[in-house]
A and B are shown apart, each in its own frame.
Chain A
């Protein structure tokens, strides 16, 4: 089974639907979302590799944190 974090993907889906790309998420973005401490840190750091390892969907990572990718 693929690792999936529903909480991470729920946050990223909400942000992606605003059609704005982010370098990092803020406490405001995360308000009301039940993410773990590690998930919260990765979202606030814009750590795309950590998000992938924690079970965020890569298409959502790409959409929200486009500026973090080299290509």
Chain B
């Protein structure tokens, strides 16, 4: 039977790799150490596949066609592309996809009446894949299937719906007869304000509140959050914790240990790395 062998939550921001020199070195080093420890644990779990719970930033989906949930069916993903690599100061590279796995998830969601995913055969990933995976999978050894959740163009799927979507993904994995070992990684959040009049604000108190609930697997207060409440306390970037709810929904009862948390003003993001375990 297929199984979930690892689960992690991280932030993503282009400046994490794009402008490492502008931060306080101690904050940066603690965050990088958190990524390094996540990578060590991920490697030890020996996954055959990584399902990435991520979000678009309007580079793929325009307002003429905006899916709530979209599964990637591409053969490969440029993460980062040549253009993105320059900004994120990474080497351009191509990550293998797993379209057959993605298609099986898509069809199961439709047939079981669980999740009506949109799907895409070609995606233009940005920092949501490239930055965290530059730390967590520097050798590009494991294929990925991305699940994009609308976190950037309201109205958004509710936190509870994102958790239920992840619940379906977890059930789908455990229903497979194969012996595949699946890792789940969500990226995004925690608090940050991007492009709004409050751009640059970070709310460490709220970030700690989020992390404390995840540490205890006490998700109900998070699932009850409205869009407006997240916008007020976590900013428009805070809406990305929907991706985190997806992973946590897939592994009921699992708890998340924050290996690092740094409110990095220069990267305008409350940055965390979280290991999720039974």
Query: How many angstroms from the CA of A61 to the CA of B198 in the assembled complex?
Result: 13
What mask results when residues 1 to 33 of chain A are scored 1 for a CB within 8 Å of chain B, else 0? Answer: 110101001100100100100000000000000
Q: Mark B186-206, 1 if CB is under 8 A from A, else 0.
A: 000000001111011000000
Question: Chain A CB within 10 Å — which of B63, B83, B155, B266 has the most?
Answer: B63
A59 close to B155 (CB less than 8 A): no
Determine how close the nearest CB of chain B comes to the CB of A39; give it in whole angstroms: 14
Q: Which B residues, 262 to 278, have Cβ-Cβ distances below 8 Å to chain A?
A: 265-266, 268
Assembled-state Cα–Cα distance A62/B194 (Å): 7
Asked whether, in the complex, the Cβ of A71 is within 8 Å of the Cβ of B199, the reply is yes
**Contacting residues of chain B (155-198) with chain A, CB-CB under 8 angstroms:** 155, 194-197
Are the CB atoms of B200 and A52 closer together than 8 Å?
Answer: no
Q: Give min CB distance, B240 to chain A, whole Å.
A: 11
A16 cross-chain contacts in B, Cβ below 8 A? 58-59
User: Which among B63, B83, B195, B266 is the interface contact of A10 at CB below 8 angstroms?
Assistant: B63
Q: Is B137 an interface residue (CB 8 A)?
A: no
Residue A49 is within 8 A (CB to CB) of chain B in the complex: yes
Known: A58-B195, A60-B195. A2 touches B155 (CB 8 A): yes
From residue A7, how far is it (CB to closest CB) to chain B in Å?
Answer: 10
Q: What A residues does B236 contact at CB under 8 A?
A: 58-59
CA separation between A16 and B59, bound complex, in Å?
8
Find the A residue at minimum CB distance from B59: A16
> Residue on B with the closest CB to A13?
B62
B197 and A57 within 8 A (CB): no
- State A1–B153 Cα separation when bound (angstroms): 12
For A6, what are the chain B residues with a Cβ–Cβ distance below 8 Å?
Answer: 63
- Interface: B152 (CB within 8 A): yes
Is A42 in the interface zone, CB < 8 Å from B? Answer: no
Query: How long is the Cα–Cα vector from A60 to B61 in the complex, in angstroms?
Result: 12
Query: Are the CB atoms of B63 and A13 closer together than 8 Å?
Result: yes
Query: A43 contacts the other chain (Cβ, under 8 Å)?
Result: no
Q: Give the chain B neighbours of A10 by CB distance below 8 A.
A: 62-64
Q: Is the CB of B152 within 8 A of A59?
A: yes
A62 touches B195 (CB 8 A): yes
Contact of A57 with B83 at beta-carbon distance under 8 Å, contacts A52-B197, A70-B200, A71-B268 already known: no
Verify A60–B155 contact, CB threshold 8 A: no
Give chain B residues whose Cβ lies under 8 Å from the Cβ of A69: 195, 199-200
Q: A9-B63, A57-B152, A57-B153 are in contact. Are A49 and B58 (CB under 8 A)?
A: no
24 residue pairs of the A-B complex, CB under 8 angstroms, read: A2-B155, A4-B63, A6-B63, A9-B62, A10-B63, A10-B64, A13-B58, A16-B59, A48-B195, A48-B197, A52-B196, A57-B152, A57-B153, A57-B195, A58-B195, A58-B236, A59-B57, A59-B194, A59-B236, A60-B58, A63-B58, A63-B195, A69-B195, A71-B265
Closest 4 CB pairs of A and B: A58-B195, A62-B195, A71-B200, A2-B154
State the B residues within 8 Å of A (CB): 57-59, 62-64, 83, 152-155, 194-197, 199-200, 227, 236, 265-266, 268
Q: Name A's B-contacting residues (CB within 8 A).
A: 1-2, 4, 6, 9-10, 13, 16, 19, 48-49, 52, 57-63, 69-71
